[in-house]
Structure formats: C-alpha cells, structure tokens
Chains A and B, each alone.
Chain A
Amino acid sequence: MSKLKVGIIVFLGTNCEQDTKRACDFFGWDSEFIWQDEKIEKNYDLIFIPGGFSYGDHVSSGRIAKLSPAVKSLPVGKSLIVGICNGFQVLCEAKLLPGALIDNQNIKFISKVSELNFQNEIINLPIAHHQGNYTCENIDKTQVLMTYKNNENGSDLSIAGIYDKQNKIIGMMPHPERAIYEELGLTDGRKVFKFVKNQI
C-alpha cells in the first residue's frame, strides 16, 4: 500500500510545521513542506495548513496568507485540506470555510489543554490562541466537527472545529499535532489524525 502523500504549507511566521511533519512521520505518511509562494501542482492526498502567526497576524490572523500562491492554488475538492489553528483562520479568511475567528471572549491569549467533544467522546488537546473565538451567521450544524466542553474562548455553539465534507476541508483551533507522543503526556491527537486519514 503506497504511503499517504502530504503537503504542509509554510508561511513566514508559521511555527507548527515541524510538529505537523513529525506527526505525519509517526503515522508513516510521506510529507513535505510547501512554501507560501509555490503554486500547488503536485497531487497530494492531504494538505495541512499548520499553526503559527503567518505574516505576523498583520491586519488580522490569516488575512495576508489567504493571498499567497499556495492558498490560491489549493486543490479544493481533490486533496483533503486541514487547517490547524492559524490554518483554520487562513481557511476562513479565504472563504474556504464559513465564519471567522475573532478575539477570545476574555481578550487574553489562551494556552492550555482543553477538553473537547469529538466523535462521541471527550478528548484532550492543547489550545493556544488569541483569536480562536469562532463566529458564524447561520451555522450549518452538520459541519460541526469538534466543540469545547468548557468553551474557553466564547465560540458560537462552543465550536472548536468544522468540516465541510463536500469540499473536503477541515478547520480546527486545537493542536492535535502536539498530542501524539506519550512522552509529552497527551496522545489524543492520534485520534484526530486517524479521523483525518479516514476522510481521504
């Protein structure tokens, strides 16, 4: 069986690409980085837009990244596209996912392990964001993938992640790539990666 082919987009200011790559390595996926200025022409099974502070979050998180050749050439509907944290913000700014991520309700940067409802169970994943408060008019509840048990940031309907199955695009604020290795005390990220693989 051939290895999954994965692309990981890197912008100026991205800082989670290495953890995302290591998570792919853990599962035996064949991953490589895609620089922001590259037009995506290879056939990837899966493309990650990892976390970080693309373009320094200038103007707003993900606002400048949406203009990059890599994002403009995303093979929507062909590859599964997964945006994590800043990646989720980029996808919303690019109007590839509905809604937007605004300042956390408590106006602070939240960095903690969060309990989340995911696939009929509670999992624990790290969250680390200042603009993680998801807001959307006319939310399509069938797209809700993951919710916060305690809604730390004030998101509409406690939404932590959404999934547009038709266009094969997932966006989530929590960091599953930081919850893979037992040495770090959290492994629930493996469940998210397994779910992602099953969507391909």
Chain B
Amino acid sequence: MKKFYAKIIVKMKPTVKDIKGLTVKNAVESFMPIENLSCNVGSVYFLEFDANNEGEALHMVEKIAQEILSNEVIETYEIKALEEV
C-alpha cells in the first residue's frame, strides 16, 4: 500500500447562482475600488489515504468527490492534486 495526498476543489456550477460569491463580491466592492471583480465561494478538501497505486487512488478520489464532496445537480469538483506522498 502507498500513501496518497489529494486536493479537491468544489464550487457551484456556473448555471447555479453563487449567492455566497455574490455576497463576498458586494462586500469587496464596498471595501475598495476594484475593476471587473468576480467571486466564487467554494470548498477545498485535503485527503490523505492509502491505495495500491495511482489508478486506484484516482478512482477512490473521484468516487468520494462525486458522492460526498459534491452534488452534481448544483456543484462541480476539480481534483487539483493527487500525488504519492
């Protein structure tokens, strides 16, 4: 077994209103002059786990991201990093 590290980012789908992002955007714009600001609020998940190989590790991370970390109806996920530690 090998030890793996993964970093997953989950955000609202572009077609779904990101209300938190809009709130932060409004707050920043009232705080300082800033041009063409867009803001999305999401979640970052850091996982460390054991797997036999990178293929298995990727499959596990995909499953976790799809079933628990995100809801495909309203969110997207991106595996930002997956590496053997």
The digit string for A58-74, where 1 denotes a CB below 8 A from any CB of B, is 01100110010000000
Query: By the criterion CB–CB under 8 Å, are A107 and B23 in contact?
Result: yes
Tier of interface size on chain B? 10 to 19
B residues 49-80 with Cβ under 8 Å of A? 67-69, 71, 73-74
Task: Indicate whether A135 reaches chain B with its CB closer than 8 angstroms.
Answer: yes
Contact (Cβ within 8 A) B68 A100:
no
Interface of A is mostly: loop
Using A59-B68, A63-B68, A64-B68 as known contacts, say yes or no to A103 and B20 having CB atoms under 8 A apart. Answer: yes
Q: How many A-B residue contacts, CB cutoff 8 Å?
A: 37
Q: Which residues of chain A have C-beta atoms less than 8 A from B71's C-beta?
A: 60, 63, 93, 100
Question: Roughly how many angstroms separate A67 CA and B64 CA in the complex, as a whole number?
Answer: 12
- 29 pairs of residues in contact across A and B, judged by CB atoms under 8 Å: A59-B68, A59-B69, A63-B71, A64-B68, A67-B68, A92-B73, A93-B71, A98-B73, A99-B73, A100-B71, A100-B74, A102-B12, A102-B16, A102-B17, A102-B19, A102-B74, A103-B19, A104-B19, A105-B17, A105-B19, A107-B20, A107-B23, A133-B19, A135-B16, A135-B17, A135-B74, A136-B73, A137-B15, A154-B17
